[in-house]
Amino acid sequence: MLIFECPYCGVMAEETELTAGGEAHVKRFGPGSSDEDFETYLFHRENPKGVHFERWRHANGCGKWFLAARCTNTLEVFGTYPAQTTRPPEPILEAIRAKRPGFQWRDLA
């Protein structure tokens, strides 16, 4: 079972307390954008076999959305951070780089 530390209430929350919310840091393209951008925003996801950044909600807890770095291949959790962030915090990226040399996710490396 996955265990995340909720960055707001500090609880070590188990998977059953949480709701998964899909990929994090998705850039929104709305009316007026190109077809390609709109399609990418709506449907295309990274779906990596490896480190992934995701949205989670502490549904059966404080109820707030947060972001997490997790490996989809080993289920290892590298850390969680508040949702009001456009880029993962440096300490989390450092932890990932140390364990996964050569890691890449969109323009993050």
Partner 1 sequence: MKRYSAFAVAREALRDHTGWGRAWHKAQPKKRYDVIIVGAGGHGLATAYYLGKNFGITNVAILEKGWLGGGNTGRNTTIIRSNYLQDPSAAIYEKARGLYETLSQDLNYNVMFSPRGVMMLAQTEHEVRGYQRTAHANSLQGVETEFISPKQVKELCPIMNIDGPRYPVLGALWQPRGGTARHDAVAWGYARKCSEMGMDILQKCEVTGVRTEGGKVQGVETTLGPIDCDKLGLVVAGHSSVLAEQAGFRLPIESLALQALVSEPIKPCMDVVVMANTVHGYMSQSDKGEMVIGGGTDGFNNYTQRGSFHHIEETVRALIETFPMLSRLKMLRQWGGIVDMTGDRSPIISSTPVGGIFINCGWGTGGFKAIPGSGWAMAELMAKGHSPLAEDFGLNRFVEGRFIDESVAAGVAH
| Cβ closest to partner 1, residue 51 vs residue 90 | 51
Give the CA angle between residues 44, 77, 90 to the nearest 5°: 80
CB 104 within 8 A of CB 97: no
Whole-angstrom distance, CA of residue 104 vs CA of residue 69: 13
Closest to 24 measured CA to CA, from 93, 101, 88: 88
| Cβ closest to partner 1, residue 90 vs residue 107 | 107
- Selected binder of partner 1 within 8, 19, 64, 97 (CB under 8 A): 19
| Cβ closest to partner 1, residue 54 vs residue 58 | 54
| Residue 39 binds partner 1, judged by CB under 8 A | yes
- Selected binder of partner 1 within 3, 15, 60, 85 (CB under 8 A): 15
The residues binding partner 1 (CB under 8 A) are 1-2, 15-16, 19-20, 22, 35-36, 39-40, 42-49, 52, 54, 70, 72-75
